[in-house]
A and B are shown apart, each in its own frame.
Chain A
Amino acid sequence: MHTFELYFAAAILAGTPLLLAATGELLGETVGLLNVGIEGVMLIGAVTGVVVTLHTNNAELGLLVGALAGAVFLLVFYALPVVALGTEQILPGFGVWFVGLGLSQLIGVNYENTPVSSGSTVVRLPGIDRIPVVKELIGQYPWPVYLAFVLPFVVAWVLARTRHGRNLRAIGEDPVAASAGAGIAVRWWRTVYVAVNGLLGGFAGAVLAVIAVGEWGTDVTAGRGFIALAVVIFSGWRSMRLIVGAYIIGALLILADLGGALSWPIPSEFLDMMPYIGAVAILTVWALRPGRRAAAPGSLGVRLKYSG
């Protein structure tokens, strides 16, 4: 069953950018900021990552610069209006998407479909890389895959069990009480976590383009930023559930490749549709589960005036 191992590994790789972007978005939403423009951030990260990698022949540097570009991009187009000027959150989010879409095409116009020759460092888990089958399933991925897998656990621990995490949750629940009542620097931490959201979103885009796809192409993300948004909702704002959602969608994303390899009598266009149908399906199922809705941060997406 060599096909299964390959499919499994490909699914994990496809789910990794989703997981990274969703983790960033979850942190942003924890402090009450709904950013619907993850797609734009990922595109900026993707094009920057590919361009830097092509010029320096260094994929790690490409990933790093892609992440930083995402952070700067989101700070300018999202934190500035929403946090500094106090606008509502949805339109700036769409602005991030539109600007990201256009700007990434502009930057990438001369680099389209140029394959990235150098890959990222593959980490072989000591011990596990000797066990057959298991080795192929979980033992040898580029390092961002392991990072994406570990991050949700770290986030869960920080949010649930540390002073800092408690403060962050308070900002998303009730920014006025957090600021005036508890003296938390709401604006500062919101700005910081917009940057973190951008960092992870840009990194996710760079991982997608540099590692998973291996080249830049217009709209290479194909809606993955929106799927990441759905994965956050599906998780019920509990970061460890992001892992489940991201990998399920990851498996659906490469269904067309599997179908082609096994010569399924199903049109590949139909299989390409699956991740989006899957996203809608899991959101529907989630919405039908009783008592889940209360999990969202109390002030998520709420525009308000606050001091501090």
Chain B
Amino acid sequence: MRTIDTESASSIRERAGERAVKLQLEGIEKSFGLLAAVAGVDLDCYAGEVHAILGENGAGKSTLMKIVAGDLQPDAGHMWLDGETYRPASPKQAMRRGIGIVHQDHQLVSRFTVAENLFLGWDGADRVGGPRSLAEQASAIVDRYGFELDPTSTVRDLSVGEQQRVAILRALVRGVSVLILDEPTATLTPQEVEVLFGVMRNLATDGCAVLFITHKLCEVLAISARVTVLRAGVRVAELGAHECDERLLAREMLGRDVESPSKGDAPPRAVSEPILQASGVTVRDDRGSLAVDDVSFEVHSHEIVGIAGVAGNGQRELSEAVTGVRRVASGRVLVDGKEMTGEDAASYVRAGVGHIPEDRLTAGMILRESIANNSILKMLHVETDRSNLTRGPWLRRREIDRFARQLLVEGQVSTSDPKVKVANLSGGNIQRFLVARELRAASRLLVAVHPTRGLDVGAADRVWRILLRARDEGIAVLLISEDLDEVLSLSNRVLVLSAGRIAGELDNTGAPPSREHLGMLMGGVEQEALVGSAAALKGCGP
């Protein structure tokens, strides 16, 4: 597959050579206060090519693209579109010139339907039209691009992956000539990524310039003709995809070498004991419909069990059910052999369960509070910590600060001052701080949901190492992630969740299961149906 992609990439590149520069950036600068987010970046993007923008979090990728999309105004520099000066004062102007962006956070109106979002703010939409005609037009578009979406459903009820597809379609509806995709593949199954790459290739073939922001090195190589690597707001390299490999890209991006984490040897089963036992667990979502349907599994000490699947297949509800955040409708949950069914979240904390929630910024942290206050949010339920951190009804500030400093060291957070507000930390630092806190709470079990979503390779690497260390210390880890690479490189066993049921369980101690096999399980094909199928395809990643 890799070779085919490189071929098509090079043919795109050859065609691009004949074409004029579509979008040209020169000396773009943008600062926020004292921080120079983008410090003088040049970029040439040709019609008919997929151009990857690679960089760590905070490297300035998103800021640069927001400038191109008219969201932000540059402090200095020039832009040309089709040879004409281009300086959009607003996203609207950018869209009028044919520049579409799919944001990392999608920017959809969550209480609107898919159809409403697709046509929102678009001058080409019908002036007058009720929900029905809107839905009809939307489903025609959905079908044309082969996405699976119900135009009448409300965006809020969709999974993150589905919401992203709406955002991509919205840009396509507007007939863009430059499409900016900000980390678009993070939440898609391998098959969906292939569909997306197909769409991207088609757009490029039609003469569209596709700017593709990612931190997944293999995707850069698979789809793009050229790569611009940003580090700390500066362009450090512009490479043809054919002349680089993952190691080279990683070095350019980080300024140092990284090794991918290895799950190492699985501990012998004899010494491991079941920590989390879920039997026949059924959970309902916020709307009352069945999200997790009769799921049974165990997580043992000294092992990481990965749950793979596309967002919205019950992962959130399952993780909430085994941490006491959400009530199970039926079935039993045991932690350490102790009956925990129907207990609240505080009881789970007392039982030694840590929880890295899916939405760390709203469910995991109080952003406007200090690191010190965030560090003790949960610990007051743990008896030993409570007696240490409080005296009667009073908080012991000095002890709390000391405790917070410990967490900062354990999480390798860039600050050591517990008085700093969490909101002022970067995404990677917030997540490492959260992981450190939850590991404190997790004396028996750690439930980690998308622990590295939105983190760059360097930051993700640190989180992975913390999880592996926790496993080696005997903690049972339940890892829920949409990132197959992450699940496969960390887990001893992999469960695939599809439509609220476990579609398959795979041993991951030896040779990794084929990605196509996993993808089909994620797509809802039952395991039995796949036995014997020649799953020869192996994609990028470890």
Contacts and interface: CB of A to CB of B under 8 A. Distances in A.
A170 B109 contact: yes
Contacts of B91: 179-181, 183, 307-308
Contacts of B80: none
B71 A180 contact: yes
B34 interface: no
A293 interface: no
B169 to A, nearest CB: 12
Contacts of A164: 127
A174 B90 CA distance: 17
A177 B116 CA distance: 13
Nearest to A162: B128
A163 B129 contact: yes
Nearest to B134: A166
B95 interface: yes
B170 A163 contact: no
Nearest to B95: A183
Contact of B112 (A170, A180, A307): A170
A271 B419 CA distance: 58
Interface residues of B, number: 30
B121 A178 contact: yes
A183 B97 CA distance: 12
Interface stretch (B6-14, B100-108, B302-310, B475-483): B100-108
Nearest to A160: B130
Contacts of A185: 90, 92
B199 interface: no
B274 to A, nearest CB: 42
Contact of A181 (B72, B94, B103): B103
B83 to A, nearest CB: 23
B112 A163 contact: no
Contact of B167 (A169, A174, A181): A181
B103 A182 contact: no
Given A176-B107, A182-B121, A163 B126 contact: yes
A167 B116 CA distance: 9
A174 B95 CA distance: 19
B38 to A, nearest CB: 17
B71 A163 contact: no
A35 B425 CA distance: 36
A182 B91 CA distance: 8
Contact of A163 (B72, B106, B119): B119
A192 interface: no
Interface string A247-263: 00000000000000000
Nearest to B121: A182
Interface string A150-176: 000000000011111011011001101
B125 interface: yes
B402 interface: no
Contacts of B107: 176-177, 180-182
B110 interface: yes
A99 to B, nearest CB: 32
A162 B120 CA distance: 11
Nearest to B118: A182
B423 to A, nearest CB: 14
A298 interface: yes
A184 interface: yes
Contacts of A167: 120-121
Interface of B: 69, 71-72, 90-92, 94-95, 103, 106-112, 116-117, 119-122, 125-130, 167, 170
26 contacts: A160-B130, A161-B128, A161-B129, A162-B127, A163-B125, A163-B127, A163-B128, A166-B112, A166-B119, A169-B112, A170-B112, A173-B109, A173-B110, A173-B111, A176-B107, A179-B90, A180-B71, A180-B91, A180-B103, A181-B167, A182-B107, A182-B109, A183-B95, A298-B110, A298-B111, A308-B90
**Among all A-B residue pairs, the 4 with the closest Cβ atoms:** A181-B107, A182-B121, A183-B92, A182-B120
Given A166-B116, A170-B116, A183-B90, 14 more contacts: A163-B119, A163-B127, A163-B129, A166-B119, A166-B120, A174-B110, A180-B69, A180-B91, A181-B103, A181-B167, A182-B122, A184-B92, A184-B121, A185-B90
